[in-house]
């Protein structure tokens, strides 16, 4: 029922281990859930890359692509996760994207997804912590500032916090298909669940009260 991809970096070994032994421990759930960690390459950290290669052989839960794993490429990480869904989990009804410093209440999430499925509301769904009508940041942050050339409007369309969001698989595949037609933005949350979601016409659902908690 659920395909899960978690943004990680090769050096975040402890975080992946924690997830595998807590909310990502798949044998805790009766339903079909598959989870992978998605990352790029940290060419300056050979030791971590060796650990990732070991983890991949041991757990078979690593999706690693050749882009440099830096903030500006976070959107590439999400798109890599969506490609994995298309390639490896075509029968999944829902897709969860999370960060490796996020806790997910999986039993509660799965129960909710089952309720949506039984109510036949398992299409055109994008839910998470939704930010509405947020001002475009023009200065003050190297990571999040966006020029008018990159994005001319003063406010963003609705978008989900990147710590975790869930979508029906049709939306995940539509986002993947539409991405080449939307100019990239380094603010991944806005790009994936805002600009591309707007292009494909999906509505956002506010849903974060019991599901995702950022780990400090």
Rounded mean pLDDT, 144-148: 93
pLDDT more than 90, % of the chain:
82
- 206 Rama sector, left if φ>0, alpha if ψ -120 to 50, beta otherwise: beta
Superfamily of chain region 2-214 = Spore Coat Polysaccharide Biosynthesis Protein SpsA; Chain A (3.90.550.10)
**Full-model pTM:** 0.94
Q: What is the pLDDT of residue 60?
A: 96
210, pLDDT greater than 70: no
Q: What is the pLDDT of residue 216?
A: 45
pLDDT tens-digit map of 150-169: 999 999 999 999 999 999 99
75, pLDDT greater than 50: yes
211, pLDDT greater than 70: no
């Amino acid at each position: 029922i659920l395909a899960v991809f978690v943004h990680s970096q090769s050096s975040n070994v402890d975080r992946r281990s924690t997830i595998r032994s807590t909310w990502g421990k798949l044998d805790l759930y009766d339903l079909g859930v598959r989870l992978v960690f998605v990352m790029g390459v940290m060419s300056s950290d050979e030791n971590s890359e060796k650990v990732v290669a070991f983890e991949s052989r041991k757990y078979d839960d690593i999706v690693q692509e050749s882009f440099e794993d830096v903030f500006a490429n976070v959107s590439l990480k999400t798109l890599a996760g969506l490609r994995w869904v298309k390639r490896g989990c075509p029968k999944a009804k829902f897709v969860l994207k999370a960060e490796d410093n996020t806790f997910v209440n999986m039993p509660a999430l799965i129960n909710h997804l089952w309720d949506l499925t039984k109510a036949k509301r398992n299409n055109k769904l994008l839910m998470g912590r939704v930010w509405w009508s947020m001002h475009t940041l023009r200065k003050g942050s190297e990571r999040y500032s966006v020029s008018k050339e990159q994005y001319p409007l003063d406010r963003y369309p609705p978008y989900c916090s990147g710590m975790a969001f869930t979508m029906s698989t049709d939306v995940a595949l539509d986002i993947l298909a539409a991405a080449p037609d939307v100019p990239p933005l380094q603010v991944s949350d806005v790009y994936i669940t805002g600009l591309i979601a707007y292009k494909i016409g999906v509505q956002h659902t506010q849903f974060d009260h019991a599901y995702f908690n950022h780990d400090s």
